[in-house]
Amino acid sequence: MRKAVTYVSLAIITIGLLMIPLGLEFGKPHHTDMDDYFLRFGQEQTATNNQCTSVTFDFRGFDTLGESTVLFTAVIGVALMFRRFYGGEDDADE
Amino acid sequence: MFWNLPYFTVVILTFIAILIILTKKNLVKILLGINILESAVNLLIISIGYREGGVAPIFTLAPSMTMVLPTPQALVLTSIVIGVATSALLLSFTMVIYRKYGTVDVEKMKELRE
Amino acid sequence: MGVKMMRMSKIVRISADLLYPFIVIFGWYVIMHGHLTPGGGFQGGAVVATGTALVIVAYSYQDIKTMINKTVLWFQESGGLMLFIGAGLGGLVIGFPFFYNWLANSGSLFGTTVIYGPNPGELNTAGFLPLMNIAVGTEVWGGLTMVLLYMLSGLEKREEA
């Protein structure tokens, strides 16, 4: 029973995935209006030579703030799991 | 198939990753499958933004003015860091589970201990 | 202790000591030139954390535990995130929205203007981008080193209290 469900779902997922190479064309992106604006005016407005960094930190800086917070949360999560083995100056359990 | 080779690689990698997650019984192997799935999705996002004959979108001593799109590269940067955070948390969970149950077999950890 | 001493030989320890300053300098080069060449905060922070990981692997964990202070790493990580938010709040003082580039094209700290077209890069350009690169690089360095140290501490046998 479980094997039948596995194979049927894998078949459905593969048929859905095969639409990607048959529908897209490599090398000719469709809608490039936003990136044409970034490449034409980004260097004057942000005074940067590297357009990837100017998009990450200046035009889309809010996403980078969220990503830094995710990294911070992950480090706090790992520190919480191993709290009673490191150090020992504070009591972890009553 | 060679005119669309990056997209076919994405399909093969995603298929292998989902096969690993659905059929393996060892917890560490399932985590490796999750990592492969993450890499396949990053490859798909990057391959969408390629322009034919384009160079990197950097104006320092640039050889030509036809450049690839910079926005997918910014999104993939965020995605890679989130993949690192996910892998770190999953691995620390696996270490605590091994200490509590004594095994990493998924079939054997069905009861709530203690 | 329950973990046997996995201390590497003398050649490996001395090679790690010799390589460590060069890796840290290369990492800071990648962080500081993030607005001119490929790189930036996250990539350079990962390179510097690799240098620290090399030293941790060469010496065993028992020796490293007494050498690295835990409080400095916590301040490094929190300070990086605070500097990132502080650089974004500077626009609110002037009267512009959050994350407005208040240093670009202005003539003060990082404010030289750039004309459109290819040019050999200047370090003094690009507004508050170098400040954000330094903040993110410091945060990633502190964070990755802390994850490594905490996971290594979980391998020891648990002391019965």
Domain contains A16: yes
Instruction: Name chain C's partners: 3 or more CB pairs within 8 A.
Output: A, B
Domain contains B98: yes
Domain contains C2: no
Domain contains A92: no
- State the residue range of the domain holding C43: 10-153
Domain contains B113: no
Average pLDDT, chain B: 91
Chain A touched by C90 (CB under 8 Å): no
Chain A touched by C131 (CB under 8 Å): no
Residue with tokens 């936003």: A34
Q: Where are the alpha helices (DSSP H) in chain C?
A: 10-32, 41-58, 61-67, 70-94, 129-153
Q: Determine the pLDDT at residue C5.
A: 62
CB atoms within 10 A of CB B66: 12
Lowest mean pLDDT among A4-13, C78-87, C100-109: C100-109
Mean pLDDT throughout B50-54?
89
Domain contains B91: yes
Q: Determine the pLDDT at residue B112.
A: 67
Domain contains C1: no
Domain contains A38: yes
Provide φ and ψ at C8, rounded to 5°: -80, 170
Closest-CA distance of chain B to residue C122, Å: 9
Domain contains A93: no
CB atoms within 10 A of CB B31: 17
**How many domains would you assign to chain C?**
1
Domain contains A51: yes
C161 to chain A: which residues are within 8 Å by CB? Answer: 93
Using alpha carbons, list the distances in angstroms from residue B8 to A11, B43, B44, B106, C29: 16, 11, 10, 32, 37
Domain contains A50: yes
State the distance between the two ends of chain B, measured CA to CA, in whole angstroms.
56
Domain contains A90: no
pTM of the model as a whole: 0.89
Specify the CATH number for the domain of residue B11: 1.10.287.3510
User: By percentage, how much of chain C surpasses pLDDT 90?
Assistant: 53
* Reported ipTM: 0.86
**How many domains would you assign to chain A?**
1
The answer to whether the CB atoms of B61 and C154 lie below 8 A apart is no
- State the residue range of the domain holding B40: 2-51+63-108
Domain contains C146: yes
Considering only CB atoms, C121 lies closest to which of B60, B65, B91, namely B60
Average pLDDT, chain C: 88
Domain contains B58: no
Q: Determine the pLDDT at residue A85.
A: 60
Domain contains A29: yes
Chain B touched by C2 (CB under 8 Å): no
Domain contains B11: yes
The answer to whether the CB atoms of A53 and C40 lie below 8 A apart is yes
Looking at per-residue pLDDT, the higher value among C141 and B100 belongs to: C141
* pLDDT higher than threshold 50 for residue C1: no
Domain contains B74: yes
Domain contains B32: yes
- State the residue range of the domain holding A16: 2-81
* pLDDT higher than threshold 80 for residue C28: yes
Segment A33-86, tens digit of pLDDT: 999 999 999 988 888 999 999 999 999 999 999 999 999 999 999 999 888 765
Closest-CA distance of chain A to residue B37, Å: 13
